[in-house]
Homo-oligomer: A and B are copies of this chain.
């Protein structure tokens, strides 16, 4: 089992010890949310919940962890004894994994003893920030084409677990498979790949190398044709070998091009293949692709059947971090919630206080999402005939919505420390993500200059927030 207990920042332990001696029994509410959609988009695809569940269920301090902490001469024995028996006993609500989500929405809501709630921060943020980032990037990339996109980034991912969970997130975001064998095995997703330039170079000639590959893989023959010269050598040798396969009544899969002008090369290669009678042979391209290069290739006359994407996807190259935060929004005083706020000169940095829910409003005719409302946990809107919603900062921006039904997005995952949610397979999550994308108008999913989806606050939540801001004394 992976050691999870020290998967944390030191200050969480320092604060926990402080809470332990100052107010051991307090119950706190924390929200996970981000403030900015990655890559200039207008949405994110929520990913990583399964691993958050694993983390919480397997959280246990080992003797060697406690020994290490003791050796730092920073922690007192009474607190270390508490850590020895540490487990999570609180409540967690979360949005379903694979959901389309927006800035400022509480994606995970933790209500627990303040020591336990505080401790979860680092690991939850690490997991959710990365997987949501990559699922979103994959969604952007796969939105830019109707053709299959494969994830090939392991060698450029930021470490082993980035490659592993990145492959999962890429599949959730719409990729059809991965080159990462460990991820494919563990998440039960398709694994793909054929050969690299070194295969070709290791033989005395390119033709020899292609013949050897075809000898070994027969009907699975897919040849990389850009080791020396795509048009003067690669495609010509590939066709020689494809014809030899044909003589044995075998049909080749196709070719891959990994460099050069992919629009021009794909057209020329297609011409060569068609003239030789291989109309069914596929052309796969790869090489530093992202949503923008693919969008351009799709709008051109390129003849491409599928894409392999590496670095730009697995690192979310143009936007390599989702700035998800974990903010205190309330402290329980008996049965009552004392809402908490962090003041900032930047109004967008002031958090939403209290115990909250998100409602998504759908149009009854189209079943498309209209807007989200962040409300207090106990509000309901389904009985309303119409509702005027308003922008939380620029309150003159108002919109009246009618003919709607709502769905609450936050659902119970842990109750008193027990898992009460439903753990979905990665394939189920990916299917759900597709449904989610179908429930959104294209304007919001567009990669360049998308429309902003409305995420407003309920009147009640807005009033509590205003009151807290205005009454704040230092």
Q: Which B residues are in CB contact (< 8 Å) with A213? A: 18
> Which one of B14, B158, B161, B259 contacts A194 once the chains associate, using CB atoms below 8 Å?
B14
Given contacts A9-B179, A22-B212, A474-B228, contact A195 B162 (CB under 8 A): no
Interface core residue of A127, A166, A198 (most chain B CB under 10 Å) = A198
Q: Cβ of A17: which chain B residues have Cβ within 8 Å of it? A: 216
Residues on the B chain within 8 Å of A68, using CB: 185
Q: Are B229 and A343 in contact (CB under 8 A)?
A: yes
Q: Which residues of chain A from 68 to 85 have a CB within 8 Å of any chain B CB?
A: 68-69, 72, 74
Given contacts A158-B162, A158-B320, A202-B114, contact A229 B474 (CB under 8 A): yes
Point out the residues of chain B lying under 8 angstroms from A72, CB to CB: 191
Query: CA–CA, A282 to B370, complex, Å?
Result: 51
Binds B, one of A90-98, A148-156, A408-416: A148-156
Q: Are A198 and B65 in contact (CB under 8 A)?
A: no
CA–CA, A181 and B56, complex, Å: 18
Known: A126-B159, A311-B323. A118 touches B342 (CB 8 A): no
> Would you call A227 an interface residue if the criterion is a C-beta within 8 Å of the partner chain's C-beta atoms?
yes
Interface code A326-337, partner B: CB below 8 Å = 1, 0 otherwise?
111001000000
A86: chain B residues at CB < 8 Å are none
Contact partners of A19 in chain B: CB under 8 A: 202
Partner of A328, one of B191, B198, B327: B198
Interface residue? A174 (CB, 8 A): no
In the complex, are the beta carbons of B118 and A198 less than 8 A apart? yes
Q: Which of B8, B21, B206, B321 contacts A216 (CB 8 A)?
A: B21
Q: Is the CB of A155 within 8 A of B9?
A: yes
- Closest Cβ of chain B to A29, distance in Å, is 10
A interface residues, Cβ below 8 angstroms from B: 2-3, 6-15, 17-19, 21-23, 26, 28, 30, 65, 68-69, 72, 74, 114, 118, 121-123, 125-127, 129-130, 133, 152, 154-166, 179-182, 184-185, 191-199, 201-202, 205-206, 212-213, 215-217, 220, 227-229, 232-233, 237, 259-260, 311, 315-317, 320-321, 323-324, 326-328, 331, 340-345, 349, 472-474
